[in-house]
């Protein structure tokens, strides 16, 4: 497959948003029920490490980081988001996109990446594990979705090159 990975820009937003909506519709990608506006999304994500995967001039996946806290001690820890277009799942590109996000995160001083993943999202759990994330534990009934309590599996990846002093 001939693909390119670029920094995400406002120009990509409508395609990124469309992929995000596909993820929402699965019921196993996020607690969100609606995709945000660009301004809302932009303010909630780290300005660096926003990636899009392009195939035949179309965004087929995206990845980004969100800060876990505004406290300075947590400046090197970020929450991971990786989403793939429905037609491009289960083809190994999630791993490629995640690996590039990890490289970008380390270049920008992040020492820990984490994700909260629904246990039913086995594909996401597999991608994270393959990319060096370890399971921390299961957060029981962490939030309600459509009136039902949902668990999440907390996973993290500690950099071997950033923050090792």
Q: 3-class secondary structure for 50-105? A: CEEEEECCEEEEEEEEEECCCCHHHCCEEEEEEEECHHHCCCCHHHHHHHHHHHHH
Residues 97, 132 contacting (CB under 8 angstroms): no
Structure tokens given for 21? 């909506």
**Class (C level, CATH) for 4-158:** alpha beta
Structure tokens given for 79? 């929450």
| Per-residue pLDDT tens over the stretch 12-48 | 999 999 999 999 999 999 999 999 999 999 999 999 9
Helices and strands in the chain, H and E counts: 4, 7
| Per-residue pLDDT tens over the stretch 69-123 | 999 999 999 999 999 999 998 889 999 999 999 999 999 999 999 999 999 999 9
Helices (H), 10-59: 13-26, 38-44
**DSSP strand pairing (77-84 vs 112-117):** parallel
Structure tokens given for 31? 């607690």
Residue 121 has a CB neighbour count (10 Å cut-off) of 20
Residues 73, 106 contacting (CB under 8 angstroms): no
Count of alpha carbons within 13 Å of 106, Cβ hemisphere only? 13
Give the global pTM.
0.94
The SS3 assignment for 142 reads strand
Domain ranges of the chain: 4-158
Indicate whether 1 pLDDT > 90: no
């Amino acid at each position: 497959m001939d693909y390119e990975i670029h920094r995400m820009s406002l120009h990509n937003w409508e395609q990124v948003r469309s992929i995000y909506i596909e993820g929402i519709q699965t019921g196993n990608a996020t607690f969100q029920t609606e995709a945000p506006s660009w301004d809302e999304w932009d303010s909630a994500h780290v300005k660096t490490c926003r990636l899009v995967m392009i195939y035949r001039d179309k965004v087929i996946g995206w990845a980004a980081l969100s800060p876990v806290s505004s406290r300075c001690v947590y400046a090197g820890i970020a929450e991971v988001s990786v989403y793939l277009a429905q037609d491009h799942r289960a083809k190994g590109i999630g791993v490629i996109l995640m690996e590039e996000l990890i490289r970008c995160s380390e270049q920008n001083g992040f020492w820990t990446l984490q994700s909260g993943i629904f246990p039913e999202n086995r594909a996401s759990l597999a991608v994270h594990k393959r990319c060096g994330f370890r399971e921390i534990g299961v957060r029981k009934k962490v939030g309600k979705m459509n009136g039902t309590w949902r668990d999440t599996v907390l996973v993290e990846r500690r950099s071997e090159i950033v923050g090792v002093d």
